[in-house]
């Protein structure tokens, strides 16, 4: 009877065949699986000698592929792989299994895992030789055997095993490709096919649908259903209104400023433009828009062609062709400039050879203005000239400061329903000298342009009376200082330009800070500036005082052109103010309820707040009958009343739409 074939790898063959071991012996009933090999049971190893291995299993079962079966399996030379520790200098060593079956004691005796002779340390150190083999031919070895590469499965299929183990399906791993220097591996960088994702059925889902108004029929349509899809249309979608057409036409003329072109931002006709104000803020004075600052508007508001000031003339102009002489001695006389105390200046007496030349024809206008035409008057000329004009500008500036600080109550104010100059002056007197300097300069400018031509001498002064008596002038007439007035006309425009530039420069720096606490001062300064421009336009519309002696008077067309330039300058100034303090300006509206209708100024209230409340009350009182609306719509194309020049620009400021 043939012996039973026993699988040497079966863990159930450790006991003799006479005693059958059940599955209960492998279970530890405390909940864990009991394995005698892993639990350290040495009785399993001691029963190795009792096993009967058939010859068919011991001899027929191959331990290596048939292609290497001719030689000794243990003596086949191998070179270390790329991941071996001896990659460069390691010698050729035979392939061997970690289980050293060449040791007789291990094969004949029991398999003891704790025995150091059961394993080969050399094989464990070179796992690469055991796990992976190189298919390159070892030609340098004497017993090297070439391995066929065409069909690696052909040799394995020629062997037939008689053991039952050979009937099991074997998994033959394909040999790795031989290293070839010509082989080029092209990485697959193309995108993965999305056919599977496209063909796969999509799961129905719900989402929000955004609607928009169709401008053609005013109906709601899904967003993106139009011809342009979900893209935003570029350019204009509808026509421009009249204001936008006017601005677009002006932009074609003035072009965008260099700052906006450099930053690629949208520009506007303002000087400075709103984009530069928002970008540079207080540093705009160092980066002027269109290479111009706000102070450059002074040349527009105070143009020489307007004729708002006395014309500079010499005595020769009036006394030609007769001769005249000037006295060597000087006398100090009082000179009145509109209102307030007189200006004391030294003069010299003029003695013409023809005394009839001391009578002039003057064009005089009434104040307050009543008609558009002046009346012709014959006045005697006071025969005196200023002896020294080198310090005249400084003396005039000091005199204007005196009039503003101490005698401003006598200012010849234009009587209108809009009473705001009094509130401005109260604010000026309540501010400290550092904060009120801009208002001080603005008030000086207003006085200069408003009363600059009202130069007289007091006939009651003894010195003046003696000069009149020596010149044999009629006693019943008040002589006019035409020679002195002409000398003042030479320095007044220069002083006015300096004051205007100073005020505009301070206003620009103050407004660019965009501090709400500075808004009342900015508003008050702007009110005084616009009143000065109104006064300049009023004086420019009048006939010159000595127009009878002008051989080439300025034509009316020239004055009209200057007025148009004034309008553009005022518009630029208002746009600058709106860009800086458009939000604060809303406090002047009649329906503004920020402070409550029952708010009353107290001593604890700041002077700026009292000024704003007074301005709001003045606007409400003057606009009750539509006065401001009427003044805002006044045009200067056809002047029928000299009163049209006043409160016109103030109405544009106070009713400014922000």
DSSP string, 489-537: HHHHHHHHHHHHHHHHHHHHHHHHT--GGGHHHHHHHHHHHHHHHHHHH
The pTM of the full predicted model, rounded to 2 decimals, is 0.62
What would the pLDDT profile of 5-34 be if each residue is shown by its tens digit? 444 444 444 444 445 555 555 555 555 555
Residue 482 CA to residue 310 CA, distance in Å, equals 9
Residue 240 zone, left/alpha/beta (φ > 0; ψ -120 to 50; rest)? beta
In angstroms, the CA 214 to CA 89 distance is 83
The model's pLDDT over 510-560, given as tens digits with 9 standing for 90+, comes to: 998 889 999 999 999 999 999 999 999 888 888 888 887 777 666 555 666
226-264 pLDDT per residue, tens = 555 555 556 677 888 988 888 888 888 888 989 999 999
CA distance linking residue 256 with residue 96, whole number of Å: 89
Could you tell me the two tokens for 499?
A: 């004051």
Q: How would residue 1 be classed by pLDDT, with cut points 50, 70 and 90?
A: very low
Work out the average pLDDT over 382-397.
Answer: 93
Confidence of residue 147 (pLDDT cuts 50, 70, 90): low
* 171/642: higher pLDDT: 642
Q: For 299-335, write each residue's pLDDT tens digit.
A: 889 887 777 888 888 888 888 777 889 999 999 999 9
Q: What region, left, alpha or beta, does residue 514 occupy, with left being phi > 0 and alpha being psi -120 to 50 degrees?
A: left
The whole-angstrom separation of Cα 67 and Cα 134 is 15
The reported pLDDT for the residue numbered 502 is 96
Label residue 606 by pLDDT band (50, 70, 90).
confident
C-alpha R_g of the chain: 56
Tell me the domain boundaries of the chain.
11-146, 300-592+599-654
| Contact (Cβ atoms closer than 8 angstroms) between residue 457 and residue 336 | yes
Crossing angle of the two packed helices 437-451 and 392-406, in degrees rounded to 10? 110
> Minimal CA–CA distance to 524: which of 411, 430, 406, 591?
430
């Amino acid at each position: 009877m043939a012996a039973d074939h026993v699988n040497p790898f079966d863990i159930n063959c450790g006991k003799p065949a006479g005693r059958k071991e059940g599955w209960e012996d492998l279970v530890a009933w405390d909940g864990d699986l009991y394995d005698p090999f892993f639990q350290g049971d040495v009785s399993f190893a001691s029963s190795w000698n009792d096993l009967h291995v058939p010859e068919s299993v011991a001899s027929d079962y191959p331990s290596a592929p048939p292609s290497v079966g001719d030689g000794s399996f243990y003596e086949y030379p191998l070179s270390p792989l790329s991941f071996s520790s001896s990659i460069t200098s390691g010698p050729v060593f035979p392939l061997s299994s970690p289980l050293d079956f060449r040791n007789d004691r291990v094969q004949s005796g029991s398999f003891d895992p704790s025995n150091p002779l059961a394993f080969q340390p050399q094989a464990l150190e070179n796992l690469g030789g055991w796990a992976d083999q190189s298919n390159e031919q070892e030609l340098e070895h004497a017993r090297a055997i070439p391995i066929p590469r065409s069909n690696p499965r052909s040799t394995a299929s020629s062997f037939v095993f008689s053991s039952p183990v050979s009937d099991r399906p074997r998994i033959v791993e394909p040999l790795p490709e031989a290293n070839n220097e010509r082989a080029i591996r092209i990485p697959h960088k193309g995108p993965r096919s999305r056919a599977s994702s496209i063909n796969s059925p999509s799961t129905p889902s719900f989402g929000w649908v955004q609607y928009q108004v169709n401008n053609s029929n005013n109906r709601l349509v899904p967003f993106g259903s139009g011809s342009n899809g979900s893209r935003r249309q570029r350019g204009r979608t509808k026509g421009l209104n009249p204001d936008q057409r006017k601005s677009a036409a002006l932009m074609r003329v003035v072009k965008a400023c260099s700052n906006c072109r450099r930053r690629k931002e949208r520009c506007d006709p303002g000087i400075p433009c709103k984009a530069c104000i928002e970008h540079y803020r207080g540093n705009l004075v160092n980066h002027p828009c269109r290479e111009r600052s706000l102070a450059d508007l002074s040349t527009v508001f105070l143009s020489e062609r307007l004729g708002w000031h006395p014309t500079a003339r010499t005595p020769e102009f009036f006394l030609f062709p007769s001769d005249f002489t000037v006295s060597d001695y000087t006398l100090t006389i009082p000179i009145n400039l509109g209102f307030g105390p007189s200006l004391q200046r030294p003069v010299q007496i003029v003695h013409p050879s023809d005394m009839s030349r001391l009578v002039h024809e003057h064009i005089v206008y009434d104040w307050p203005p009543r008609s558009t035409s002046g009346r012709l008057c014959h006045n005697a000329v006071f025969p005196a000239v200023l002896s020294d004009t080198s310090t005249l500008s400084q003396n005039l500036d000091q005199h204007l400061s005196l009039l503003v600080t101490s005698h401003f109550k006598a200012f010849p104010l234009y009587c209108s329903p809009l009473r705001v100059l009094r509130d401005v002056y109260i604010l000026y007197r309540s501010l400290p000298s550092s904060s009120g300097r801009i208002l001080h300069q603005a008030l000086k400018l207003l006085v200069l342009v408003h009363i600059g031509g009202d130069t007289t001498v007091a006939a009651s002064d003894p010195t003046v009376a003696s000069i009149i008596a020596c010149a044999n002038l009629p006693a019943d007439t008040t002589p006019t200082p035409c020679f002195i007035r002409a000398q003042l006309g030479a320095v007044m425009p220069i002083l006015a330009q300096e004051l205007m530039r100073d005020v505009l420069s301070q206003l620009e720096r103050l407004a660019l800070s965009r501090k709400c606490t500075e808004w009342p001062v900015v508003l008050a300064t702007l009110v005084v500036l616009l009143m000065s421009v109104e006064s300049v336009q009023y004086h420019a519309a009048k006939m010159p005082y000595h127009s009878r002696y002008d051989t080439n008077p300025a034509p009316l067309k020239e004055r009209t052109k200057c007025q148009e330039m004034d309008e553009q300058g005022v518009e630029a100034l208002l746009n600058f103010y709106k860009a800086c303090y458009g939000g604060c300006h809303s406090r002047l509206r009649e329906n503004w309820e920020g402070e409550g209708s029952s708010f009353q100024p107290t001593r604890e209230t700041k002077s700026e707040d009292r000024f704003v409340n007074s301005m709001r009350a003045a606007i409400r009182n003057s606009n009750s009958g539509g006065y401001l609306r009427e003044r805002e719509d006044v045009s200067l194309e056809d002047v029928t009343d000299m009163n049209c020049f006043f409160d016109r620009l103030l109405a544009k400021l106070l009713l400014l739409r922000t």
